[in-house]
Structure 1
Amino acid sequence: MTPSPNDDPKTLVSTAWLAAHLKDPDLRVLDASWFLPDMARDAQAEYAAGHIPGARFFDIDEITDSRSALPHMAPAPEKFISRMRAMGIGDGHQVVVYDALGLFSAARVWWTFRLMGKTDIAVLDGGLPKWRAEGRELEDMPPMVRDRHMTTARQNHLVKDVTQVAHAAKLGEAEIIDARAAARFRGEAPEPRPGLRAGHIPGSKNVPFASLLNADATMKPPAELRAIFEAAHVDLTKPAITSCGSGVTAAVLSLALERIGHRNHALYDGSWAEWGMYDDLAVEKG
């Protein structure tokens, strides 16, 4: 298999692209596998059992803002720098991030790097399942790492807090796009986290993240992505705010928006884990 002409080391690369570049001296690979509690899977144990050669494990629940009670909120730049240097990742590296479900949690790490001003990062299209299905090499040894200097420049426009989202919802100045499954968006299915109300942010549109993916968990081509957003009545001429259950799969929407050339997008970091918790925030159903 040869690399695809659609490969873009700033958004999405194929397994063939990664295989061709795996031994590049300035390439770094991250395993960002993360599972919902009801999946009953251990991401770190699975990484230890087998991962793409040279991959480091990026712990979404640890590389976070530990001061927040909300799940895996974006870390402070200082913590991000510390964790990346410990993994031997720094300035000048091209990073490729993947996950064990295909395209699920890896986009969250892509977004986190971009939040820190690092744009030389791509998600592996189809992730570990596609890599495995193609019979490509795996290893079970952690890589040798050397500390590498890293600088960041936090891009505050890429993240929104609850006040900013409430303002946007009230004024209709941005399209709020929810990545959760349709039944959760409509308030017909319970939330996986206890204590949260059911429904969605008033005025938000529903584009389930899975609808943007093919059967093998690769992302659909840009023309199809654009059509899916438009079918959900998303006005792509307006700024976009992506949301989901806890800020993970919202990043799949962010990645898709970037792929179709929509640059004015931000992620609601607290997502439904925050909005669904407060009774003074309005909720819509249906």
Structure 2
Amino acid sequence: MPIAIVTGASSGIGAATARRLAAEGFTVVLSARRADRLAELVTQITDAGGSAVAVPCDVTSDESVAGLAEAVADLAESYGREGGGPDERVSLLVNNAGGALGLDPVEHGSVDDWQWMFEVNVLGTLRVTKALLPLLEASEAGTIVMVSSTAGFIVYEGGGGYSAAKHGMTAMTGTLRLELAGRPVRVVEIDPGMVRTDEFATKRFRGDTERADAVYAGVEMPLTADDVADCIAWTATRPQHVNIDRIVVRPLAQAAQHKVARGPIGRQRPTS
């Protein structure tokens, strides 16, 4: 079974992606800070007949990321000792760990919030990519999927810090693809728009569920974590010579970053 690593796997898009990749036949290395959540997910995946291993990791720590890389290398080596071939190599990295804090205008922006967003979204992705790239290249059929955002190429009021961080991630993705040209590693970017998960908006507003719920108020069927996981799995399972550079995925209700329809879609509206 090929080995896939998913960062930020304890909830939301990361957890959904881990479940989907396990169903696609990957042994999934689940990485996030919350070990208890990872253990629960391992149980879910194995109970469903899949294969998963939990490796707690904080992407803001060089030491922690080094530990992740070592654990993945050990897993691949154990497969080798058992007589595994190319199908058991480290073939996929999903850089999903990230997040947003606050919705302040630039003039009142929190330096601490901006620093956290850069540390997790940009530098965390850099750390993990650097650490695992040698294993991906050694597989001779590697894929790196960067889970960024439409905020990576479009700005909006109150989103300066998050947009700046995701712009940085998008720039890193394009640069990496150029630098890896001629080497056996694909680089894919997934840019979701409005996705309703169990934690993203709540964390952004520091547990204020009322503000978090207001983001999605009246929006018929925002994307789910499973929708994004479906896109990730599709790109990762194309023939190796096919590189899907970028997928931009939004719900039907969201025509653009600033244009969101709130209310029923495709139903007869009352006339009075």
Query: Is TM > 0.5 for Structure 1 vs Structure 2?
Result: no
TM-score (norm 1): 0.27
Structure number with the higher helix fraction is: 2
TM-score (norm 2): 0.28
